[in-house]
A and B are shown apart, each in its own frame.
Chain A
């Protein structure tokens, strides 16, 4: 389960709840996430990291991005414990995780638009 990126159960629940707006939700999430990532890159102090990571964790978990949510949680913990060295490493992991899930969500969006 460690290498699962998106939780299919969450996605199908979202599809059901959002109905026609499901593609919009996915798009919104991706746009939002880019903002969060740039917030994270700009963050200088531990509490900024903490807040940004916390918010990102919340929305990722809602969207079923389980691995991203887990990484955000780790980042939030590191920021809390001021482990600045680990933060650097986690930021890179978050970047690459987002790079993986982004096309997955886009594909999902295309599927739902055509379906």
Chain B
């Protein structure tokens, strides 16, 4: 019957003999005793000495036991101070009053020491249990506070990284919880030097900080490589390799990556493990699913990773819609999934393309799903190139070491053409020339146009007229991939020459290929309309560069860029 630890027990009893007797019994059981002769006395003693347990007579002068019990319970707050009423009350009504006043048990007179000891022990157990519960609750609350604080810090750091992008561009609309990151959802967008827009919607496995940590390196690769002019395949390979290297085996990132080209009016897509995205052609109303064809990022080794993308034509006003699985996996009260079919119904009912995201959100609410914070949606529309203004690049060097008189020649052969994209390196080299920085967008567009013309029409012998309609467009890129895989020989040469002219200078770019050439005269006859899908390259080069010319039956292209004295 011995308690583990002696308690301090307050005995409130107006009858001196009873008080004496009870004190003696309790003391003999090893506890410390405080006494009070009436209720008010008991409340005072409790306030000053905070006993663990109270034995309370119901009928007392000055303040009865019921009122004293109420006041003591109030003072005790969340701590459980068990109150055992000492009573010869027998009517159930009176016993109920004790309970209402906060009593936890009764002890009938005449006192039985054995029963009293058992009750004290039981109440002490209860008291300790409550104390443990409170302690653990506070611990959980503290941990929760830590967690929220960690998330706040992580989010603040991440927002700095993520917001270096262009999510606020006028052609992007998105819905995402501010804490989506901690459900692994990730949305990034940035312009490349040519003014094309790269968009990534990703979904890491897991929840909380573990799901968020992978987002940082992924965002850095995305922004770094996009800004330097790398295309989707190289960026994807690098992302995959990096995630594969740093993430544990059971962590990976489902992702859809887009490259929207406003000049070419096309979208390049890679989907690894995300739900179908949709390419919405406004003219026909058709929504083409952009289906996952790959494993998520961070699963395959760099050797087995498949960076193959698909390219689709777009018209001005067409939209690409991407979503995270939180949308279709939203559950109603009966554990039913929202599902793709309900999403399609929202598409069908949609009249105003601009309100689609809100309509989906409403449909999710109507479906009875709780607002989940892993519901991410983004819609990117194709605008006229002129409607967007990619931010100017910021350079940190002084310009003192600017190279002004040099030339360089490169020859990229078959094995290199298959996997390597030389444009970012060439662009970086050229942007060491300060005078060219103001026209880096045009420079990159022209370089990439000439390079892809040389590679696709020259080396690979693809027919640009294939791209005249949408199905031909898809066939064109299919053939491009097949021929590139099978490529044995051939080359693309790039000659760069920078010469000072007065206080400014001139860059001459020459791109040659090993292909069959093309009918230059016919290509140049086409008007500079810039709207058709095929043959756009030639007019783009002529619009953005100066003195564009073709020789050697189209196998050699030449274009110049001039700059004046710098301010």
Contacts and interface: CB of A to CB of B under 8 A. Distances in A.
B24 A17 contact: yes
Nearest to A31: B16
Nearest to A35: B16
Nearest to A61: B110
Contacts of A64: 110
Interface in A57-78: 57-59, 61-64
Contact of B21 (A18, A31, A51, A55): A18
B109 interface: yes
12 contacts: A17-B21, A17-B28, A18-B21, A24-B20, A28-B17, A32-B16, A54-B88, A55-B14, A55-B15, A58-B18, A62-B109, A62-B110
A21 to B, nearest CB: 6
B21 A58 contact: no
Interface in B49-108: 57, 59, 86-89
A104 to B, nearest CB: 15
A58 B109 contact: yes
Interface of B: 14-18, 20-21, 24-25, 28, 57, 59, 86-89, 109-111, 113
A62 B20 contact: no
Contact of B25 (A17, A29, A59): A17
B20 A28 contact: yes
A62 B111 contact: yes
A87 interface: no
Interface residues of A, number: 21
A10 B17 CA distance: 14
A10 B110 CA distance: 9
A91 interface: no
Nearest to A10: B110
A51 B88 CA distance: 12
Interface string A13-42: 010011001001100110110000000000
Contacts of B86: 58
Contact of A63 (B14, B17, B25, B89): B17
A18 B25 CA distance: 8
A25 to B, nearest CB: 6
A14 B16 contact: no
Contact of B24 (A10, A18, A59, A61): A18
**Is chain B's binding surface mostly helix, strand, loop or mixed?**
mixed
A54 B21 CA distance: 18
Contacts, number: 56
A80 B346 CA distance: 75
Given A17-B25, A29-B17, A54-B59, 14 more contacts: A17-B28, A21-B20, A24-B20, A25-B21, A31-B16, A55-B14, A57-B109, A58-B87, A58-B109, A59-B17, A62-B17, A62-B111, A63-B17, A64-B110
A24 B16 CA distance: 11
A51 B59 contact: yes
Contacts of B113: 17
**Is chain A's binding surface mostly helix, strand, loop or mixed?**
helix
A62 B113 CA distance: 11
A13 B20 CA distance: 15
Contacts of A24: 20
Nearest to B24: A18
A57 B59 CA distance: 12
A59 B86 CA distance: 11
A29 B16 CA distance: 7
Contacts of A61: 88, 109-110
A32 B15 contact: yes
A64 B21 CA distance: 12
Contacts of B57: 58
B20 A58 contact: no
Nearest to A39: B61
Contact of A55 (B24, B28, B59, B111): B59
B59 A62 contact: no
10 smallest beta-carbon distances between A and B, as pairs: A29-B17, A58-B109, A59-B15, A61-B110, A62-B110, A58-B88, A28-B17, A32-B16, A32-B17, A28-B16
Given A17-B28, A54-B88, A59 B18 contact: yes
Nearest to A26: B17
A58 B16 contact: no
A31 B86 CA distance: 21
A70 B88 CA distance: 12
A109 B226 CA distance: 102
A21 B16 contact: no
Contacts of B88: 54, 57-58, 61
Contacts of B15: 32, 55, 58-59
Nearest to A14: B21
Contacts of A25: 17, 20-21, 24
Residue among A14, A31, A58, A63 with the most chain B CB within 10 A?
Answer: A58
Contacts of B16: 28, 31-32
Contacts of A17: 21, 24-25, 28, 113
Nearest to A16: B113
A89 B20 CA distance: 32
